[in-house]
Amino acid sequence: MNILFVCMGNVCRSPMAVGLLKKKFEENNIDGLVDSAGFESYTINEPPDKRAIKTAEKYGIEVSGRARIFVKDDFDKFDKIYVMDMQNYRDVKDLTRNKSDIKKIDYLLNVLHPGKNETVPDPYSQGEYNCHVIFEILDKATTKIAENIQAN
């Protein structure tokens, strides 16, 4: 199962989700690609936010990589595309080519609260404490993703 996480800048929420899910894939012998992307050109090739890295390290999770832009080819590479908020959903949906692409998109928190389309708050302008709060939310969601994959 190949999973893509999408947030605005691809430097906080989605890289933390990638680190969490990669570790869960490894621990549960789940085969698949896990990656992230965003929509802000000013963060292209930037590393994850230092606060996100520091927060993840406290829990033994590696957050690395470089920010990249979401592209239409991502629909071909990934089975599921989880977005963090309404704007991300709109941005990804605007690039869909067909109904199959649309079916791949979902709000990340729908794995915990189906059909609610809840937003994962963006910690970028909020400070380190909020990175911990967001990390815990992402941890619960990625645990559920891994459980769902194993159940199927």
Q: Does some domain include residue 80?
A: yes
Q: Evaluate whether residue 152 is within a structural domain.
A: no
pTM for this predicted structure: 0.95
Contact by Cβ (8 Å): 111, 148:
yes
Report, in this order, helix, strand and coil percent for the chain, each rounded to 5.
50, 10, 40
- For residue 80, give the CATH number of its domain: 3.40.50.2300
Cα(127)–Cα(85) distance, rounded to whole angstroms?
19
Q: Are the C-beta atoms of residues 20 and 8 closer than 8 Å to each other?
A: no
Tell me the per-residue pLDDT of 103-150, one tens digit each, with 9 for 90 and over: 999 999 999 999 999 999 887 666 555 888 999 999 999 999 999 999
Residues with catalytic roles: 7, 13, 122
pLDDT by residue (tens digit) across 19-75? 999 999 999 999 999 999 999 988 899 999 999 999 999 999 999 999 999 999 999
Q: What phi and psi values does residue 8 have, to the nearest 5 degrees?
A: -60, -60
Residue 46 belongs to some domain of the structure:
yes
Does a structural domain hold residue 92?
yes
**Cα gap 128→75, rounded to integer Å:** 33
What is the extent of the structural domain holding 115? 3-147
Domains in the chain, number? 1
Judge whether 86 lies within some domain.
yes
